[in-house]
Amino acid sequence: MQPRLIMLLGVAAVTVLLPLAGASAGPVGDGDAKSPLPSPSAALSNAPSESRAGAESGAESSSVGDSVADSGAATAARCGPELSSPDGIEAQTCVLRLGRDTWARTYYRNATGEELTAVLTLMGPGGRTVQMHCEVAAEDEPAACETPRERSAGDAAAYSAVAEYAAGETAGLLLRSGSNSAPPQDS
């Protein structure tokens, strides 16, 4: 065959196959169209650092180096159901594990129109707890807050997490979301 004909056929093949490859991949980040919260599997590495206000830890803190994250190890997530309050806060709380580390993350969306506070607590075996106080901006955008990563001290099933969302000191609790929460029962 002539080199021009081979090159022309190659260009035609790429022109035909490229749109098909894009269509089969689907739109980037569309997730679950019904869920206003980021999907835990899609957002495992996307916790905004500005939502980390301060940490209180009852255990020694350790961190995983980039080598574990870069090694391609999968992060395991155990999440409770997505919950919402009549006041306009929606949340889902998860216990995450990567390599030797375990931590908690809560995904939320604040449509209340006012700034909230959240307390995220990771509870582990032997009474170990890690607590994070999170500022929840008055924005109707999905966000996340997480505890620092801790060296795992047992089986992943021995860990649980709870996030409590409140508006000011007088308004009280608006929503409690847990990693081990039972889904709501229809009556």
3-state secondary structure of 27: coil
Answer yes or no: is pLDDT of 120 > 70: yes
Per-residue model confidence (pLDDT) at position 68: 39
Question: pTM for the whole thing?
Answer: 0.62
pLDDT tens readout for residues 58-103 = 332 223 333 334 445 788 999 999 999 998 999 999 999 999 999 9
Per-residue model confidence (pLDDT) at position 116: 94
Q: Number of helices (H) and strands (E), helices first, in the chain?
A: 3, 11
